Chain A
Amino acid sequence: MSKEVLEGLKSRFGDRVEIYEHNPTRAYVTVANEDWISVTRHMYEEAGGRLATASGSDRSTGVELLYHFPIDSAGTVVSIRTTLKKPFPKIESLAPYYPAADFIEREIFDFLGVEFAGHPDPRKILSSHDRPADFHPMRRDE
């Protein structure tokens, strides 16, 4: 159940996290860009979460990052969300603290052009080498 994890987030971050509980085992937490790294680090280092994957999408509000953290001991998935400004979305990388984020962030860079500051290996990961450097297929720019 998400309860304990969400209570932990609330006591640690107070108003800086906006929590939406979809059901007892699924919650979505919205944070501002500046709190991104402390909240995602908390999920891994203190809340017992593991980064399963990240869904990035280009939405009307900007490029949204959604990091999905299943917490195995609680049988729940808590997803952390933030929105980055276009045209050059940029955020601090989680990879130096959590190696699992390495490939996951490279994929987001590849498809959405998000720059992850501090990423140890910021290369594209899936796109063909003959595509231009600014080719990010999931972006909806005009």
Chain B
Amino acid sequence: MGITNWGFKKSLWVFHLNAGACNNCDIEVLDCLCPKFDVERFGIKLVGSVKHADVLLVSGSCPRKVVPQLIETYEQAPKPCAVVAIGSCGCTGGIFKDGYNFAGPVDKHIPVDAYIPGCPPRPEAIIGGIVKLMGKL
């Protein structure tokens, strides 16, 4: 395994962004970092700047106004950067896909490596999804 992959498997730094989500997925993501689920023991941590991120976690159905910022954030992430679309909205647009302001889903604008469906996905599902992603990387 290459040094990048070895680095990935040791600790994933995650930048989370909300592209028009109702917040539920975002809260469940933050729940993963809190004492009950505590993914930091696996070396996964949330970073404050996309420039430090290995993984970009995107929630939300991408309303029109948010798309330019979504793309810009992805471009600012140093590659390789895995993208995870989280929640029904992130994966397919969910219940909002027929809305007039719907400009997604996420994989319409940026390449997505993993999809974690659910409304919201439970923290266990999120952790499971990230673990699968680590396997893929």
Within 8 A of A (CB), among B63-85: 63-65
User: Which residues of chain A are within 8 angstroms of B101 by Cβ–Cβ distance?
Assistant: 128, 137
Contact with B along A124-137 (1 / 0, CB 8 A): 00011111000001
The main secondary structure of chain B at its interface with chain A is mixed
Taken together as a complex, chains A and B put the C-alpha atoms of A72 and B48 apart, in Å, by: 43
B100 CB within 8 Å of chain A: yes
User: Which residues of chain A are within 8 angstroms of B100 by Cβ–Cβ distance?
Assistant: 137
Within 8 A of B (CB), among A105-125: none
A136 to chain B minimum Cβ distance, whole angstroms, is: 12
Count of CB-CB pairs between chains A and B under 8 Å = 10
Q: Taking CB as reference atom, which chain A residue is nearest B67?
A: A128
Q: Taking CB as reference atom, which chain A residue is nearest B66?
A: A128
Q: Taking CB as reference atom, which chain B residue is nearest A130?
A: B64
Taken together as a complex, chains A and B put the C-alpha atoms of A94 and B115 apart, in Å, by: 47
Taken together as a complex, chains A and B put the C-alpha atoms of A129 and B66 apart, in Å, by: 11
Q: Taking CB as reference atom, which chain A residue is nearest B65?
A: A128
A134 to chain B minimum Cβ distance, whole angstroms, is: 16
Taken together as a complex, chains A and B put the C-alpha atoms of A130 and B65 apart, in Å, by: 8
Taken together as a complex, chains A and B put the C-alpha atoms of A130 and B68 apart, in Å, by: 11
Q: Contact residues of B with A, CB < 8 Å?
A: 63-65, 100-101
7 new A-B pairs (CB below 8 Å) besides A127-B65, A128-B101, A137-B100? A128-B63, A128-B64, A128-B65, A129-B65, A130-B64, A131-B64, A137-B101
- Those 6 A-B pairs whose CB atoms lie nearest each other, nearest first: A128-B64, A128-B65, A137-B100, A129-B65, A128-B101, A130-B64
